[in-house]
Amino acid sequence: MNRQNDVLIRCHGVTKQYRKGNNLVTPLESLDLDVPRGDFLALMGPSGSGKTTLLNLLSGIDQPTSGSIEMDGVKVHALNRRELAAWRAHHVGYIFQLYHLVPVLTAFENVELPLLLDDMPRRERQERVEAALSLVGLSDRMHHFPRELSGGQEQRVAIARALVADPPLLVADEPTGDLDRQAADAILGLLHELANGQGKTIVMVTHDPKAAEAAARLLHLEKGRLLEAVS
Amino acid sequence: MKLSAGMHLVPLAFKQLVRHRIRTLLTVAGIAAGMFLFTLVESMQHAVSGATEIRASDQTLVVYRENRYCPSTSRLPIYYEDEIRRIPGVREVIPIQITVNNCGASLDVITFRGVPPEQLARYAPEIRIIDGSRKDWEATDDGALIGENLALRRGLKPGDAFEAAGVRVRISGVLSSPNPQDNDVAYVHLPFLQQASRRGLGEVTQFNVRVEEGGDLGAVARAIDERFASAEEPTYTQPEKAFFAQAAQDLIELTGFTRWIGIGAVIAVVGLVANAVLLVVRTRIRENAVLQTLGYPDLAIAWLVMLEGLLLGLAGGIAGAGGAMTFLWLARISFGNEGQMLSLSPDPVLFAAGLGLALALGAFAALYPAWIAVRRPIVESLRT
């Protein structure tokens, strides 16, 4: 397979603008980026540099003002709201800094959420949820509620939730930002394993240089532009 | 979104409601109170419809003294019975004297119907004796067959004695009839009631007439009134339900007014559910955005919000409409006016209607909150 065919995400001339009061804000401008399949990419940059905006565009929860984003040949920038939702369900797993688990649901039920809208037999759903929780090392906590878990364990549940539909792309917005060093290292180790062992493509936004070290590639963003790429 | 997928979200919606127990309980209590009121009002409307809407299958006429509207002033000679029986189209006639303890509108009217005991079974074969004995009644001058609603309301049983309107009777049996009026009255011997109420033996209040199967109620009524047009006591004959509508006009007008209470209750329920669901949506903006990030389409988010409205409606509907049915079953409420009785009975159809309306109101009230839940951009909601 040549490099051209091995690219999972291709962004070309991506610009994002929005109005804030009377001002026109441009968090991203004419950005070009290719992300190969199986890559573990870290995005760093100061606040307001456009990292999270780029992550939101890659995950399909926001649309570019201009430019194109293609993933596996799908023109994500051209999808409508309904098509984007269906695309997200099967192609992207989103990991939030603050986990965002539903507090009234157990770990199992939280991980099951992305599968509920699929026409999937209950047994298969159960097997996939158990496999995802096993992968993040929480088989013994699947019936615990978020309030009964540590921060690191909550983030593992959130990762299992992002993984359960088996999407090719995982996006993580400061996944270790709310964790202590030990828990953060464990999460980074898990992400590394997902990229290397499971072949997932991971794009991670972080402020933490140590977290960035875990990635295979590091990109810096400043004022909406890609400044450098370090392998 | 498939139906099966939509059903998968029911447990999630239920758990979200349980998350705020007190708020949910208060909302359900409010809905239940509204639906309780609504169902009671509908029971009254239903009872009025049942008592006044004339159907093709109706076969009963009431012969009353012309220009009289109260049982105490309607007096007809008992010998009219034979004359009426000879009129073509008449199948059966029964003379009835009516004595009531209260001629006005009341919640506890005792109505005595004095009838020839040997004629009651022939005139109204649909009456069943559910406790006591018809033979005992026929053999006892001061015996009474009382309707089941009256028995329950007053806590009476065979062997008991009770007195009302100056008439003291002993209960021989308790009857049940598909005709709601029968279930609220006390049947006694005609001569006994004529004497006990100091009416002459030769006079009755009215005649009830059953016409032949498929007979023309109007034609028979006209024939009866023409027969006595020049008599000293002229008659006015009309179908039983029209007679009820005329005699109990005050009661019907009051009942009609209660519809506004029902409408008020419905509006209150809509406001209550909308407020509760809107609060829920506003406190879960980010959570809904997370679900959207996971791939939930707008329809699923809206459905999740609607489900909460539906579940609130379901719980409130079961409690309210069910409570109203239980209340009617226990209280056996009957309104009386001019000797005519309007019984409020628990009816599964009314329960289903109350529950259905509560669900519809829950869904309707959740429409706006559902729209609020999906209209914001995901990125904006995640920042809140």
The answer to whether residue B238 sits within a structural domain is no
Mean pLDDT over the full length of chain A: 91
Confidence of residue A228 (pLDDT cuts 50, 70, 90): low
Chain B: closest CA distance from residue A82 (Å):
6
Cβ–Cβ contact A135 with B under 8 A: no
Scanning every residue of chain B, which has its alpha carbon at the shortest distance from the alpha carbon of A18?
B380
- Does residue B15 sit in the same domain as residue B100? no
pLDDT digits (tens, 9 = 90+) for B126-149: 999 999 999 999 999 999 999 998
The answer to whether residue B191 sits within a structural domain is yes
- Does residue B135 sit in the same domain as residue B13? no
Last residue of a domain, one of B185, B208, B233: B233
- Does residue B80 sit in the same domain as residue B210? yes
CA A156, CA A132: separation in Å to the nearest integer?
Answer: 10
Scanning every residue of chain B, which has its alpha carbon at the shortest distance from the alpha carbon of A163?
B294
Contact B297 A82 (CB under 8 A): yes
Confidence of residue A1 (pLDDT cuts 50, 70, 90): very low
N- to C-terminal Cα distance for chain B? 27
CA B199, CA B340: separation in Å to the nearest integer?
Answer: 20
CA B193, CA B166: separation in Å to the nearest integer?
Answer: 10
Confidence of residue B47 (pLDDT cuts 50, 70, 90): confident
| A186-197: b (≥16 Cβ within 10 Å) or e | bbbebbeebbee
Q: Could you tell me which of B296, B319, B297, B316 has the C-alpha nearest to residue B308?
A: B316
For residue B240, report the phi and psi dihedrals to the nearest 5 degrees.
-55, -40
Cβ–Cβ contact A114 with B under 8 A: yes
pLDDT (average), residues A105-111: 96
The answer to whether residue B59 sits within a structural domain is no
Contact B2 A96 (CB under 8 A): no
The answer to whether residue B244 sits within a structural domain is no
Q: Considering only residues A176 and B50, tell me which one the structure prediction assigns the higher pLDDT.
A: A176
Is residue B325 over pLDDT 90?
Answer: yes
Supply the pLDDT for residue A229. 53
Supply the pLDDT for residue A231. 46
Scanning every residue of chain B, which has its alpha carbon at the shortest distance from the alpha carbon of A103?
B19
pLDDT (average), residues A90-106: 94
Contact B297 A85 (CB under 8 A): yes
CA A101, CA B273: separation in Å to the nearest integer?
Answer: 26
- Does residue B47 sit in the same domain as residue B139? no
pLDDT (average), residues B180-198: 88
Q: Which residues of B touch A88 (CB under 8 A)?
A: 293-295
Contact A100 B298 (CB under 8 A): no
Contact A104 B19 (CB under 8 A): yes
Domains held by chain B: number: 2
Chain A: closest CA distance from residue B154 (Å):
51
Supply the pLDDT for residue A187. 92
Mean pLDDT over the full length of chain B: 89
Q: Which residues of A touch B14 (CB under 8 A)?
A: none
Considering B4-13, B239-248, B294-303, the range whose residues carry the highest mean pLDDT is B294-303
Q: Could you tell me which of A159, A228, A223, A224 has the C-alpha nearest to residue A190?
A: A159
Q: Which of A102, A118, A165 sits opposite B287 (nearest CB)?
A: A102
Is residue A3 over pLDDT 60?
Answer: no
The answer to whether residue B225 sits within a structural domain is yes
- Does residue B147 sit in the same domain as residue B227? yes
Q: Give the ipTM.
A: 0.93
- Does residue B225 sit in the same domain as residue B266? no
Supply the pLDDT for residue B48. 84
- Does residue B157 sit in the same domain as residue B122? yes
Pair of tokens at residue A105: 């649901």
Interface probe for B, chosen from A62, A65, A96, A117 (most Cβ of B below 10 Å), is A117
Domain that holds residue B98: 67-233
Is residue A5 over pLDDT 70?
Answer: no
Contact A62 B9 (CB under 8 A): no
Contact B286 A116 (CB under 8 A): no
Scanning every residue of chain B, which has its alpha carbon at the shortest distance from the alpha carbon of A109?
B12
Scanning every residue of chain B, which has its alpha carbon at the shortest distance from the alpha carbon of A119?
B5
Supply the pLDDT for residue B6. 82
The answer to whether residue B242 sits within a structural domain is no
Amino acid identity for residue A65 in this structure: T
- Does residue B20 sit in the same domain as residue B73? no
Q: Which residues of B touch A82 (CB under 8 A)?
A: 297-299
pLDDT (average), residues B309-332: 94
Cβ–Cβ contact A110 with B under 8 A: no
Q: Which of B16, B287, B300 sits opposite A117 (nearest CB)?
A: B300
CA B208, CA B215: separation in Å to the nearest integer?
Answer: 15
- Does residue B47 sit in the same domain as residue B78? no
Scanning every residue of chain B, which has its alpha carbon at the shortest distance from the alpha carbon of A96?
B290
Supply the pLDDT for residue A16. 94
Say if residues A63 and A77 touch (Cβ distance below 8 Å).
Answer: yes
- Does residue B102 sit in the same domain as residue B157? yes
Other CB atoms within 10 A of residue B200 CB: 11
- Does residue B87 sit in the same domain as residue B178? yes
The answer to whether residue B239 sits within a structural domain is no
The answer to whether residue B241 sits within a structural domain is no
Last residue of a domain, one of B233, B264, B284: B233
pLDDT digits (tens, 9 = 90+) for A156-211: 999 999 999 999 999 999 999 888 898 899 999 999 999 998 899 999 999 988 88
pLDDT (average), residues B326-344: 81
Pair of tokens at residue B344: 């409020």
Contact A86 B295 (CB under 8 A): yes
Scanning every residue of chain B, which has its alpha carbon at the shortest distance from the alpha carbon of A84?
B295
- State percent of chain A over pLDDT 90: 76
Supply the pLDDT for residue A4. 46
pLDDT digits (tens, 9 = 90+) for A120-134: 899 999 999 999 999
Q: Which residues of B touch A87 (CB under 8 A)?
A: 295
- Does residue B294 sit in the same domain as residue B379? yes
pLDDT (average), residues B111-122: 91
Cβ–Cβ contact A108 with B under 8 A: no
Residue with tokens 């995640």: B382
- State percent of chain A over pLDDT 70: 96
CA A200, CA A205: separation in Å to the nearest integer?
Answer: 16
A-B Cβ pairs (cutoff 8 Å, strict)? 71
pLDDT digits (tens, 9 = 90+) for A6-40: 899 999 999 999 888 888 989 999 999 999 999 99
Q: Considering only residues B51 and A158, tell me which one the structure prediction assigns the higher pLDDT.
A: A158
Q: Could you tell me which of B340, B263, B358 has the C-alpha nearest to residue B50?
A: B340
Supply the pLDDT for residue A227. 77
Q: Which residues of B touch A79 (CB under 8 A)?
A: none
